[in-house]
Structure 1
């Protein structure tokens, strides 16, 4: 039975949705999942991702997995507990869903970029300032605002045709360039997701 990943991201445009799927596909291929790739559904906002996941879980016929940003610090418990307790979400774990069915990009997808600064430097080129990025090696403790602010500062004085970082197509192009092994070495949440996919789907 195939795995289908319901991902927060992609926005409302067809082009950005395509970029989102492509970026995740490249990331997963480099993580060793070529030949057993999950199908990727770019759902736009996080609530859409949750609702689409619930529908797929209820209908059966595939193995759905939810992947959304944590948005806030993730301290203890399961991803479902975090999403139930987080103000603005309040999502219950659907019947039939295990802990392996839900994963978090802690605290935001761009946090993963910080694990592979060489990929950022290669993408942005001359004028990129890696020293402006948050120094904390424990990615899951870096606040979302600090991640996005650091990327904006690191790219504000570029001497190339690249523009300063902003969410959009650049986000997913960078995602497709970073090294998954570097990400999972410093982000346990990312390692958990990749381990579940490598194992062929949820087991708990």
Structure 2
């Protein structure tokens, strides 16, 4: 049994791709002695509910219980988000994808160029990835009409892009990725 569980916002359905496997392959780059159990929870509310249920247990099977969700806002909104969800006391166990998972991909132009060969249909934004308000929409726009893969699809392409992502780049770019790896 895994000593750590991560409840994540993201599709549990594997029809178009498996985000859980993509995240798992990304985390393998960390060289952990034991991989965490990854539980996909579809949406933020479900992920929070499962995280709270596990943290409320008097005898959880896990030493560490973590939550990874989209912040859907700039890093500065972290404190307000935690307060609004009544999760301030769990702040050390909650990690955010700023703004969304797609910001991670935008931070890796080579990853996107390799994935969408022969080339992206439209240019990537020049704004820093964590500053892009809707990275999912931006990625869809950049790949719109791609002749081989079509426009970006959150599950189908997201799972593969996660698996191929460069963890050290994400650690250096996004403080919550570094925090998450330290917690593991």
Residue 107 of structure 1 pairs with residue 99 of structure 2: yes
**Which of the numbers 110, 123, 145 marks the counterpart of 1:118?**
110
Cα deviations by residue, 1:141-182 (Å, 9 ceiling, x for unpaired): 221x2x22331232124232x111122221111111110111
Say yes or no: does 1:177 pair with 2:164: yes
Which residue in the other structure is 1:201 paired with?
A: none
How do residues 47-126 of structure 1 correspond to structure 2 at under 5 angstroms? 47-59=45-57, 60-62=60-62, 63-75=64-76, 79=78, 81-85=79-83, 90-93=84-87, 97-126=89-118
Counterpart in the other structure of 1:32: 31
Aligned to 2:20: 21
Q: Tell me the equivalent position of 1:132.
A: 123
Q: 1:142 aligns with which of 132, 144, 168?
A: 132
Residue in 1 that maps onto 2:141: 153
Q: Give me the CA root mean square deviation.
A: 2.1
TM-score of the superposed pair, with normalisation by structure 1? 0.79
For residue 99 of structure 1, report the CA deviation from its aligned partner: 2.4
CA distance in 2, matches of 1:118, 1:45: 29
Native 8 Å contact 2:82 2:91 kept in 1: no
On the 8 A contact 1:126/1:158 being kept in 2, the answer is: no
CA distance in 2, matches of 1:67, 1:171: 16
How far apart, in 1, do the equivalents of 2:14 and 2:159 lie?
Answer: 14
Local SS of the residue matching 1:126: coil
Distance 1:38 1:181 in 2: 19
> In 1, Cα distance between the equivalents of 2:119 and 2:153?
16
In structure 1, the gaps of 5 or more residues are 198-204
* Deviation at residue 82 of structure 1 after TM alignment: 3.3
Number of residue pairs the alignment of both structures matches: 180
Deviations 1:50-100 (A, max 9, x none): 000000111122121011000012216xx4x33245xxxx31127xx5422
Deviations along 1:92-123, one digit per CA (max 9) or x if unpaired, are 127xx542211111110110001211111111
Question: What secondary structure, in the 3-state scheme, does the structure 2 residue paired with 1:176 have?
Answer: helix
List gaps (5 residues or longer) in structure 2.
none
TM-score, reference length from structure 2: 0.87
Separation in structure 2 between the aligned mates of residue 2 and residue 190 of structure 1, nearest angstrom: 19
Cα distance change of structure 1 residues 156 and 127 upon mapping to structure 2, 3 Å threshold: farther
Say if 2:153 is the partner of 1:166.
Answer: yes
